[in-house]
Amino acid sequence: TDEEERIEEIISASQKFIYMVAYTGITGSGVSEDLQPLLDSIRKYTKTPIYVGFGVNEKTARERVKGADGVIVGSAFVNILLNETLSHTQKIAQCSELASVIKEQINS
């Protein structure tokens, strides 16, 4: 099928892990996808770790990690770093706090 061909193409291009997009549209504003069927399909073909990204933050991490090996967070940190009202120290503190909260969400 087309899906099987696409999965095989993705697997052959992957090296250390597979990056799975969790949303359609712009990060944080798109529609959440039900990833479990696709995760199950990919796992039929490979044991390569699958990490979910795109729209992952402290509110979505627990849901996004279900069935995946982990999450990739980018925009949530970038938004903090681009906040011009924060000092460098505050940015570091907020990024550290965000990482801790996401870790708690994933591990709980």
Per residue in 40-60, pLDDT (tens digit) is 889 999 999 999 888 777 777
Give how many domains the chain has, as a whole number. Answer: 1
Average predicted confidence (pLDDT) for the chain: 85
- Percent of the chain whose pLDDT exceeds 90: 35
Q: How far apart are CA 25 and CA 63, in angstroms?
A: 18
Stretch (H or E) spanning 94: helix 88-107
Q: What is the mean pLDDT of the segment spanning 71-93? A: 95
The range of the structural domain enclosing residue 58 comes to: 2-107
Q: How confident is the model at residue 83 (pLDDT cuts 50, 70, 90)?
A: very high
CATH of the domain at 77: 3.20.20.70
Supply the pLDDT for residue 80: 96
> 96-108 pLDDT, tens per residue?
999 999 999 888 8
